[in-house]
Amino acid sequence: MTTASTNKVRISIDAMGGNFAPVNEIKGTLDALAERNEYLELTLVGREAEIKKYMANILSEYKNELQIINADEVVTMHDSPADSFKNKQNNSIRVGLELQKSNLSDAFVSAGNTGAVLAHSTLILGRIEGIGRPTIGAFLPSQSGFTLITDVGASVDCKPRHLFEFALMCNVYMKNIFNIKEPKIGLLNIGEEKSKGNETAFKAFELLKNSKMNFVGNIEGSDVLNGKVDIAVCDGFTGNIVLKFAESILDLLKFKFKEYADKGLLKKIWIVMFKNTFKKILKDFDYQSHGGTLLLGVNGVSVIGHGKSSPLAIKNMIFNAENIVRKKINDFIKSELKNYILSFN
């Protein structure tokens, strides 16, 4: 998928996506080039005049590795995914993904409206043959490093086969991107016995048990953070609620800390020291630095970041996209799928 002549991976970046667009997007892009310009060919997609305003003379510096492609419209965080596809045909997400569809780009990166990036990616790139639904996964810290929880909102009502496919795709991802030999896969449920949970979980259990993957069985909510598994599989309703719940823990802890400090329950001198240490420990909860959430199942490469992505997060998303392209993740997914007769429905 890389350009044959240069072995560079061509990545389009949605310059208008995040809450701090286009500044963080531009910074992250330039930081990526500063580190790996010989391996990357980057395209910033968005309002050209606005982007150029921030770039001054830098463009000429990277004239072989960086270009800007104009897209007049911007999908906001409040736009409905379907409406933005229909009514904002020249938006930066769409233009960026069309480049990939036309084989002018290998991957797309956006910190924009997650639902819109998902919808555009599915509609423009299509699904991998044999995959019923794409999935979005996210990383949470755990006692053994981190856990990939999927789905976190792409597929709300899931059939057993969808949960199976999520596991299969994430298994390929974790094996190839993180070099985990046999990722431990758990099915998020309300008890460890195989008869537990709702009808969907019960049937998905059977599919996973009969696969060749390293399925450790049902896991409970407490097992996401304790390091028991590498991949926690669930429907997008459950996963989205767990992810947002997890993201809010930091705020509660900060609030509680402040409350105790204000009440004078902490010695003043400790507070400064404490804050710093606290920050270190809790940094791992800030999953965005892992390089965006994961969109798997579309017939192409699309990496979605948090709206508040920092330049570092954008840079990591670009490197992550490069990695997915180089490691041919989708090819592995396609070949894995052939091992299973997917006659569910």
Residues that bind a copy of itself (CB under 8 A): 141-143, 153, 156-157, 188-190, 197-199, 201, 220-226, 234, 236-238, 240-249, 251-253, 255-257, 260, 265-266, 270, 273-274, 277, 280-281, 284
Question: Shortest approach of a copy of itself to residue 249 CB, angstroms?
Answer: 6
Nearer to a copy of itself, 104 or 156 (CB): 156
* Residue (of 199, 176, 174) closest to 189 by Cα position: 199
Question: Shortest approach of a copy of itself to residue 325 CB, angstroms?
Answer: 30
- Give the three-class secondary structure for 343: coil
Tokens of 176: 């190839």
- In angstroms, the CA 284 to CA 301 distance is 26
Nearer to a copy of itself, 16 or 188 (CB): 188
Nearer to a copy of itself, 141 or 311 (CB): 141
Nearer to a copy of itself, 139 or 319 (CB): 139
Nearer to a copy of itself, 154 or 317 (CB): 154
Nearer to a copy of itself, 177 or 225 (CB): 225
Q: Is 235 left (phi over 0), alpha (psi -120 to 50) or beta?
A: beta
- β-pair partners for 68: 44
- In angstroms, the CA 157 to CA 298 distance is 18
Question: Shortest approach of a copy of itself to residue 339 CB, angstroms?
Answer: 30
* Neighbour count for residue 257 (Cβ, 10 Å): 15
Question: Shortest approach of a copy of itself to residue 278 CB, angstroms?
Answer: 9
- Give the three-class secondary structure for 68: strand
Nearer to a copy of itself, 72 or 247 (CB): 247
Question: Shortest approach of a copy of itself to residue 143 CB, angstroms?
Answer: 5
Full 3-state SS string of 78-131: CCCHHHHHHHCCCEHHHHHHHHHHCCCCCEEEECCCHHHHHHHHHHHHCECCCC
Nearer to a copy of itself, 48 or 284 (CB): 284
- Give the three-class secondary structure for 29: helix
Question: Shortest approach of a copy of itself to residue 120 CB, angstroms?
Answer: 18
Question: Shortest approach of a copy of itself to residue 102 CB, angstroms?
Answer: 32
H-type alpha helices, the chain = 23-36, 48-55, 58-61, 81-87, 92-101, 114-125, 160-177, 199-209, 236-262, 268-282, 311-326, 329-337
Question: Shortest approach of a copy of itself to residue 119 CB, angstroms?
Answer: 14
- In angstroms, the CA 147 to CA 140 distance is 5
